[in-house]
A and B are shown apart, each in its own frame.
Chain A
Amino acid sequence: MADNTGYVERFTLSERVTHILLFASLIILSITGLTLKYHESTVAQWIIRLEGGVLFRGQIHRFAALVLMATFAYHILSVLFSRKEHEFFHDMILRKKDFGCFVGIFKYNLGLQKEMPAFDRFSCIEKFQYWAVGIGTVLLSLSGLVLWGETIFMMLFPKWVLDLNRIVHSFEATVGFLVLVVWHQYNVHLNPRVFPMSKVWLTGKISKEDLKRDHPLEYQRRFPHE
């Protein structure tokens, strides 16, 4: 698994492509969505004009949503039918200790605990983000489809459900956007250790040194004799 350079594979090509499709569609969705939510601000109005007007903005948003949903479907199929991605999913499943590890991280950062909690392939932060994105995608896709076909939806449900749906779509998306932009960007790219950017998302490879430090359990599994 390890090549001569001391790097080992962390993400397969398919996983990296999935990630790129995911964040590309999310960026477009965020820009087109947030400008609608904050349409009163001058910046948003300027961006909406760049997006070709308020109605074409919606077309872009729906196109990006289709890409996101396709990516989501592709990921599920990969998890089901590809060995590597099945493993990926298996490593992502939340275990009991993942729920307590945040306390450990806080304690370590405050200096109350000497050791960082030991992680396997994915830290609890990464696992929670994965599941947040997954659940968020399902929620936002469903509520987005409702908004897309509002007339058909309102043949079945009263108007107040549509209003509620809009609130959920808008706020859920904002929370998701903040978590991804603030937290994910900091955790993987902007923190002092890897600043300005970690290249793992492009190369799919992680150095053995980083693996040993950040994912000691995986390191032990993969290199039991070192």
Chain B
Amino acid sequence: MSNWVFFRNLTWYLTVLVLGASLLLTLPLVAQAQERRCALCHAKKDLRAKDAATGKERSLYVDETVFHGSAHGKLACVDCHLDTLDLPHGKRLKKVNCGACHYRGRTFGQGPAIEYLLYRDSVHAKERQKGNMKAPDCASCHGTHDVLNRTDIHSRGYKLNIPEQMCGKCHQKELADWKASVHGPATHKGDLNLPVCTNCHTEHGIRRAADPGSTVYATNIVEMCIKCHGDFSMMNQYGKKTEEVESYYESFHGVATKFGEKNIAHCASCHGYHLIKASTDPASSINPANLPATCGQPKCHPGATANFGKGKVHVNPHSKESGIIYWIALGFKWLTITVLVVLFIHIFLDFLRKLQEKKKKVS
């Protein structure tokens, strides 16, 4: 009896074990088989279809090697293409919603992702909401099946690739200006300190320059520039100083900007935006020869002459290099101190004397 029971139980155990093991072993095969089923069509290089949005025919080929090498290479097709209920899918699939994984409350992978929220308020998202489909969504910048981690030098999101492979695809004039500027790769030659588009405009939450929330809005842009130009150790690497920042904040322009005035010269008003050039460059807006035109903009100092270029612009009265300005400032400083000391000595002595007189009078 007991033998029979034992034997029956063992049969059950073995059945469950074998079934379970085979199921576990076949699941990846099932998944792979599903992917193989996608590949049945999408591995064909000549698979093309008409795009409903643009009306143009485009390739639907997916290079599997590229996909498996991408940041998402371990995912299955259906992990992103969630609306594939049946294969082959009959209807056109929806655009992939990256926010299905890249959301703020994410607890897996790289943790919380706020890019979606930032993008939602950006000029690009707002343009798309208005119906301008030329404005980019995630895939426009990051690509689709070939997304790479930004630390990969072949990634579009790798710092040095951003201008050419992301923003510059649409913003071609800005790209050309930036390339010709002191901030461009020609001067920096692979240096990772160089500012690319995203350093000033931010990455996902890009806003119009006229939007007060923008990092390049008139009253915010100085803060943007001084992230590097106010960084002593970074500027030191290039033999530059940071005193321009202090002297700007001491100037009438700087004070007014600090108090939120918008129609006052900030860094870019004189130095330009994308096409910033060294003052020694004859084409630079701050070359002494061009200063009359730069300072003489109709809203600023119309009628400016060559005198605007005579003397240091970012003058620092506390630096000996400022010459006479330094010495006069120093002289005044000591005059003020001397006057104060003499006045207080006089007041102190006079006070004691008059107090004495008063006491005498009372007594």
Which residues of A are in contact with B by a Cβ distance under 8 Å?
Answer: 36, 39, 45, 48, 53-55, 105-106, 108-110, 150-152, 154-164, 167-168, 171-172, 174-175, 178-179, 182-183, 186, 191-193
Among candidates A53, A110, A161, A164, residue contacting B261 with C-beta atoms closer than 8 Å: A53
Of all chain B residues, the one with the shortest Cβ separation from A156 is B307
Mark contacts of B306-334 with chain A using CB atoms, 8 A cut-off: 1 yes-contact digit, 0 otherwise. 01111111010100001111001100110
Question: Contact: B256 with A54, CB < 8 Å?
Answer: yes
Question: Contact: A160 with B315, CB < 8 Å?
Answer: yes
Most buried by A among B304, B339, B340, B352: B339
Q: Which of B156-164, B168-176, B192-200, B341-349 contacts A (4 or more CB under 8 A)?
A: B341-349
Question: Contact: A157 with B307, CB < 8 Å?
Answer: yes
Tell me the dominant secondary structure on chain A's binding face: helix
Question: Using Cβ atoms and an 8 Å threshold, which residues of chain B touch A171?
Answer: 329, 332-333, 335-336
A48 to B346, CA, bound (A): 34
Given contacts A53-B261, A155-B303, contact A167 B329 (CB under 8 A): yes
Tell me the dominant secondary structure on chain B's binding face: helix
Question: Using Cβ atoms and an 8 Å threshold, which residues of chain A touch B256?
Answer: 54-55
Question: Using Cβ atoms and an 8 Å threshold, which residues of chain A touch B333?
Answer: 171
Of all chain B residues, the one with the shortest Cβ separation from A164 is B325
Question: Contact: B328 with A154, CB < 8 Å?
Answer: no
* B150 within 8 Å of A (CB atoms): no
Question: Contact: B349 with A163, CB < 8 Å?
Answer: no
Question: Contact: A164 with B328, CB < 8 Å?
Answer: yes
Question: Contact: A179 with B343, CB < 8 Å?
Answer: yes
Of all chain A residues, the one with the shortest Cβ separation from B332 is A171
A147 to B332, CA, bound (A): 19
Question: Contact: A155 with B347, CB < 8 Å?
Answer: no
Among candidates A54, A159, A182, A191, residue contacting B307 with C-beta atoms closer than 8 Å: A159
* B355 within 8 Å of A (CB atoms): yes
Question: Using Cβ atoms and an 8 Å threshold, which residues of chain B touch A53?
Answer: 259-261
A216 to B335, CA, bound (A): 33
